[in-house]
Amino acid sequence: MAEPVLGTIQTDLSGQTALVTGASRGIGRAIALSLGRCGARVACVARDAAKLAETVDAIRATGGEADAWTCDVTDGPKINELVDQVVAKYGGLQILVNNAGITRDTLLPRMEDAQWDEVILTNLRSTFLFTRAATLVMMRARYGRVINMASVSGLVGNPGQANYAASKAGIIGFTKTVAREFAGRNMTVNAVAPGFITTDMTAALGELVNEEVKKRIPAKRLGRPEEIAEAVLFLASRAAGYITGQVLTIDGGMTA
């Protein structure tokens, strides 16, 4: 099967600043690289400083501008401070991608309180905190693009992922509500719901599980992080100005 052609979406993001959470690996890294390729200054946020530095170096290696911020994405005051620092450094903030996320999978009877809380805090609370801080800046400028990373698990559920699915379903409801609040200020808020993508999370499932998953996908393959990044790039562009409150599902037809 031929590999998909990637890196073909072109949009001029020169002069714009993008903040990407979870930018140290997988989908977040691919998104940060795509935004940088199209001229955005990219504020890369994650907890892993070493991996984050690799993302920043990769953006700079292609002539882009990027800096790293390590942050606990569940800490409200720290996030407010971080957004202020980004705005002070770059002069504004036009694009926010809430991508940070974790899994702590187990069936509900065995799920511990800490496993529930950690996933909800990292996935859902961080989306709220970064969006609240960033939209204060965007409102003043009367322009902004917010893209939240949901999941097909938040649409149809998945055994062993009650915490993860709840966090992603919450992101979808949050996205639709905030989109309505800011639509009149030239700000869009959308969600992307990936299916099974080749990341560290899916690699941890093992080859046998991934082969079984492929049988459930009409496209007969897992998606690539770059394919998610291409969709985010479009939603971040000025061309997507009349698209808001939507959930773009990218799953090879699995939920069709």
Q: How far apart are CA 234 and CA 253, in angstroms?
A: 20
Catalytic residue among 90, 143, 164, 242: 164
Task: Provide the CB-side half-sphere exposure for 233 (13 A, CA).
Answer: 27
Under 8 Å between Cβ of 79 and 129:
yes
Measured between alpha carbons, how far is residue 150 from residues 97, 146, 249 in Å? 11, 13, 9
Q: Which residues of 162-179 are buried (b: 16+ CB within 10 A; e: fewer)?
A: bbbbbbbbbbbebbbebb
The distance between the two most distant Cα atoms of the chain, rounded to a whole number of Å, is: 51
Amino acid making up residue 194: P
Q: Catalytic residue at 242?
A: no
The values of phi and psi at residue 38, to 5°, are -95, 10
The encoded tokens of residue 37 equal: 């390729």
Instruction: Check: CB of residue 174 under 8 Å from CB of residue 127.
Output: yes
- List the helix and strand counts (H, then E) for the chain: 10, 7
- The Cα–Cα gap between 250 and 238 comes to 21
- Residue positions annotated with a catalytic role: 164
